[in-house]
Structure 1
Amino acid sequence: MYYADRLLRSVDEGRDTLGIAAIAVVTVSVFAAGNLFEPGPAPAGQDSFFGGREPTIREREQITEAYPAYVRNAPVECVWMDIRVSFQDARYAAAGAQVLNWQKRGSRCLRYASNGFDVLKKTGRTWRSIFAGSVEPPCSLGIPRDLIGCRGKP
């Protein structure tokens, strides 16, 4: 902020040392940096925090069915399931509830807030959670790297 303030003062005083274009760059940069910590569903330019691909409708239905009733029955204005399926091995998926409308005072959506995700594996016709957490899963689980990174030795 110091440099942006100094630059603005120099323009106000008639000493346009860097030019008006520099003000625009600094202003946009400060705005962008300020928005880095705003909550949101995914980083800019990405559809999801996870890699992989969007699930088919059938995959989405099956994966959602693996969750408890309180998640499956959450109001649509409160929860969106961010689900991705591995390109490398379609038996693996990553999913996390993206909570919507939780910031409103007295919101009924706040009860669905969480910061974790699940990695699921399809065995037969059923998807089962093989990892639940808020950090990268251990590499020993053998989760395809195109879906999510891992910690430890691969």
Structure 2
Amino acid sequence: MKIIKQAEKNTIEKEYGCINLLSSEPAVFWAGLFPIICIHLWALFYIIAPYKFEMSYYLYLGVFGIVNTFVYYLVIQKFIYIHIGVEGNVYYVIGLLLMILLLISVQIMNIKMLYAGTYTKLQNGESKFNVSLIVASSSFGFYPSLYFH
């Protein structure tokens, strides 16, 4: 009960706006805002002259994914420390290690799929990999949670 009251107190005192990073400490806010500004400035190249910079678009998507992962990591840490009121460095270190592990494992999986020819099979329609079943099964927990909260 103490944690819930502390979270409510922190939410009332620290919430300044709709953007999740705004209610953070200034260092966290600028650590998240700087990569976002850079990625948006980079995106202007693709809006101004999309065919001229066509070859670097895949690099942009990769960096965009890394920036989003980092910003979501900051938002999650903000929720854990400011809104929930957790103290100590354990959750920060665990979250950082999980973020790095996630980025590395996705890149390893991507390289394996690239050299195995999975992407070519998916483009040609030769693969029997059913994505719709995975997407549908991932949402099954959402609907019961609407009624049993």
TM-score, with structure 2 as normaliser: 0.25
Q: Which has the higher contact order (CA 8 A, sep 6+)?
A: 2
TM-score, with structure 1 as normaliser: 0.25
Higher strand share: 1
Name the larger-Rg structure. 1
Higher helix share: 2
